């Protein structure tokens, strides 16, 4: 997985938040917002589900499976 990713805001899909991955496990994705001291966890119930989390009233999702599909289709 790339070090920097874009999180999709469910209410504003055209306004993603770019973050850096600090740590990832099967159910938790911990991210850092570049040039800030902000870090937050995103969680998922199952390995095939997207990560979900909120920050400052915004609700974000990240699906690592979609990233894999995009990279595969580019090749």
d(CA 28, CA 44): 7
Q: Is the pLDDT of residue 68 over 90?
A: no
9-59 tens-digit pLDDT: 999 999 999 999 999 999 999 999 999 999 999 999 998 999 999 999 999
Pairing of strands 4-9, 58-62: antiparallel
Residue 2: φ, ψ to 5° = -65, 155
Residue from 63, 69, 68 nearest 10 by CA = 63
For the chain, what are the domain ranges? 4-74
Question: At 1, is the pLDDT very low, low, confident or very high (cuts 50, 70, 90)?
Answer: low
Question: At 75, is the pLDDT very low, low, confident or very high (cuts 50, 70, 90)?
Answer: low
């Amino acid at each position: 997985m790339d070090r920097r990713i874009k999180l999709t805001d469910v209410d504003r899909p055209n306004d993603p938040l770019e973050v850096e991955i600090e740590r990832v496990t099967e159910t938790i994705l911990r991210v850092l917002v570049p040039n800030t001291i902000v870090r937050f966890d995103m969680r998922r119930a199952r390995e095939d589900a997207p990560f979900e989390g909120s920050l400052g009233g915004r609700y974000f999702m990240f699906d690592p499976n979609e990233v894999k599909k995009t990279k595969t289709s580019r090749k």
